[in-house]
């Protein structure tokens, strides 16, 4: 039976899982969850993820939430096919993949997701973006990207010569970010820009990006 | 040659790694990086950790930062030594990862700024953001209700055994329990039971002694 992913392709966290499934050439079924109607807050959904967020993965008896735990599971289960996303054959390389995945999780994601939340989600809720929050997080994001610029001057991808989960996890929010008027933070850093353009050339990206349909207000 | 951990023994993220070392019975050496004088922002440390934070490790030629990545590496490298922190099957490992990610994305985002404002800022002579702390506590109550429910049907977060999912919470939780937030944990029967059980572990007691508590 194919894995089921509960969610909507426009959600960045769902897209993170879909990218992984495509990179691992794994069949799956996307079970729609109507986010605008808040179906992810209903008791039937909360029984799968008590935090009321998408995505949720079901694989036979296993129900899993947290997109990065899901990608790690898929990458491990299907480690012998598709793209080697975890460098599992070498413990030290695998640790470097985990290191830059943690960097995405703790340094990159809080800043970029705060900007996307203000510029895309808040207007969808009929509210006005908070310019101070946007500015504060753009500054934080810039500092993180300075570290990336230096790193990507030495390596093609974040962990070395190969594309891994550490790169993949960045893709959905960066895709949305590039739709905003702040894309210069990426484009003005040559190594980061080249890395981003490479990530966008991957077949898995071309399958998932059409689902990332929401757009920011011009700000 | 033993692994060197660059950090401060009282800081939350180095403690996450130290606790892993103690649970796995791994020998280590702490190289003190003084956070009070912002040593972590100086060029020498930035070469080890470009974001200017602790911890970082050096193990011969191998260097790593991000406490959760370090803990994961050593828990894997020494899988058959000390406590198995990762889980016993592919599915169990996924559940361990899930609740470890919950710590990072739901718990730490609230716990860290609470600890920063209630414990760290006063020590440095800075003002506590009282309004922020109250907002964070309201959000933390909601998150702790989910933990309470989880721990009602599971002895530990990922099931019957103590794993990385529990360990990763302990340093920040240890500091939260030194603030009035401890009432939130004590008021929840399952959380209280879980906290008392995991803090009775020898590795935690050794860590607390090392940190001067």
* Residues on chain A touching B66 (C-beta within 8 angstroms): 98-99, 102-103, 106
* Nearest CA-CA partner of A171 in A22, A12, A48: A12
Q: What is the mean pLDDT of residues A204-208?
A: 97
Residue ranges of chain B with per-residue pLDDT less than 70: none
Q: Tell me if residue B57 falls in helix, strand or coil.
A: strand
Over residues A84-112, mean pLDDT:
97
Helix ranges (DSSP H) in A24-129: 43-46, 67-77, 91-103, 109-116, 122-124
CB-CB under 8 Å, B105 with A66:
yes
| Predicted confidence (pLDDT) per residue in B65-104, tens digit | 999 999 999 999 999 999 999 999 999 999 999 999 999 9
Residue A219 pLDDT > 60, yes or no?
Answer: no
Q: How far is CA B174 from CA A11, A73, B46, B115, B168, in A?
A: 35, 30, 28, 10, 11
Search chain B and give the residue with CA nearest A46. B146
CA–CA separation, A86 and A164 (whole Å) = 6
* A118-127 pLDDT, tens digit each: 999 999 889 9
Query: With an 8 Å Cβ cutoff, is A48 touching chain B?
Result: no
Contact status, residue A96 vs residue B64, Cβ threshold 8 Å: yes
Report the alpha-carbon distance of residue B72 to residue A72 in Å, rounded: 13
Mutation site, A73, A87, A108, A140, interface B, largest B CB count within 10 A: A73
Identity of the residue in B68, B72, B98 whose CB atom sits nearest the CB atom of A64: B98
| A95 → closest Cβ in B50, B51, B64 | B64
Q: What is the mean pLDDT of chain A?
A: 96
Judged by CB atoms closer than 8 Å, whether chains meet at B94 and A96 is answered as: no
Is residue A137 pLDDT above 70, yes or no? yes
Helices H / strands E in chain B, number of each: 12, 4
Using the predicted structure, report yes or no on whether residue A218 has a pLDDT greater than 80. Answer: no
A 188-217 residues with CB below 8 A of B?
none
Contact A27, A3 (CB under 8 A): yes
Element spanning B51, H or E:
none
The alpha-carbon gap from B146 to the nearest alpha carbon of chain A, in Å, equals: 7
A and B: number of Cβ contacts within 8 A: 78
What band does A85 get if pLDDT is binned at 50, 70 and 90?
very high
Query: Token pair 């905003």 is at which residue?
Result: A180
Q: How far is A183 from chain B (nearest CA, A)?
A: 22
B65/A61 touch (CB, cutoff 8 Å), yes or no: no
Contacts of B77 in chain A (CB under 8 A): 91
pLDDT at A216: 79
Taking an 8 Å cut-off on Cβ atoms, the answer to whether A99 and B146 are in contact is no
Note the Cα A163 to chain centre separation in Å: 14
ipTM attached to this prediction: 0.94
Min Cα–Cα distance to chain A from B198, Å: 23
The pLDDT, as a whole number, for residue A215 is 84
């Amino acid at each position: 039976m194919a894995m089921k992913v509960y969610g909507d392709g426009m959600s960045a966290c769902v897209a993170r899982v879909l990218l992984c499934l495509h990179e691992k050439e794994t069949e799956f079924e996307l079970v729609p969850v109507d986010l605008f109607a808040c179906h992810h807050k209903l008791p039937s959904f909360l029984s799968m993820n008590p935090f009321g967020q998408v995505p949720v993965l079901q694989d036979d008896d296993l129900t899993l939430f947290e997109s990065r735990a899901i990608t790690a599971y898929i990458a491990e289960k299907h480690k012998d096919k598709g793209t080697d996303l975890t460098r599992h054959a070498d413990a030290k390389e695998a640790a470097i993949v985990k290191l830059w995945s943690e960097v995405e999780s703790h340094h990159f994601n809080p800043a970029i997701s705060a900007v996307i939340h203000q510029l895309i989600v808040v207007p969808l809720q009929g509210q006005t973006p908070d310019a101070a929050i946007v500015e504060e997080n753009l500054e934080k994001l810039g500092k993180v990207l300075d570290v990336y610029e230096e790193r990507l001057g030495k390596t093609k991808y974040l962990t070395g010569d190969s594309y891994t989960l550490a790169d993949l996890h960045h893709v959905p929010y960066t895709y949305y970010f590039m739709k905003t008027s702040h894309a210069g933070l990426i484009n003005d850093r040559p190594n980061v820009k080249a890395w981003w353009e490479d990530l966008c050339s991957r077949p898995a990206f071309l399958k998932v990006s059409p689902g990332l349909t929401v757009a920011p207000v011009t700000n | 040659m033993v692994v060197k951990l660059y950090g401060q023994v009282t800081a939350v993220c180095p403690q996450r790694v130290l606790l892993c070392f103690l649970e796995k019975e791994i020998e280590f050496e702490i190289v003190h990086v003084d956070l009070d004088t912002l040593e972590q922002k100086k060029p020498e440390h930035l070469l080890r950790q470009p974001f200017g934070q602790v911890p970082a490790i050096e193990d011969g030629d191998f260097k790593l930062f991000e406490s959760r990545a370090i803990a994961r590496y050593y828990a894997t490298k020494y899988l058959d030594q000390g406590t198995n922190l990762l889980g016993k099957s592919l599915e169990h490992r996924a559940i361990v990862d899930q609740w470890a990610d919950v710590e990072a994305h739901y718990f730490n985002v609230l716990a860290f700024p609470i600890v920063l404002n209630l414990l760290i800022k006063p020590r440095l002579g800075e003002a506590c953001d009282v309004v922020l702390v109250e907002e964070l506590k309201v959000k933390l109550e909601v998150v702790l209700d989910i933990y309470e429910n989880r721990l009602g049907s599971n002895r530990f977060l990922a099931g019957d055994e103590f794993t990385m999912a529990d360990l990763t919470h302990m340093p920040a939780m240890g500091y939260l329990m030194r603030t009035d937030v401890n009432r939130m944990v004590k008021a929840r029967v399952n959380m209280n039971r879980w906290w008392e059980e995991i803090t009775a572990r020898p590795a935690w007691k050794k860590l607390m002694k090392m940190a001067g508590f």
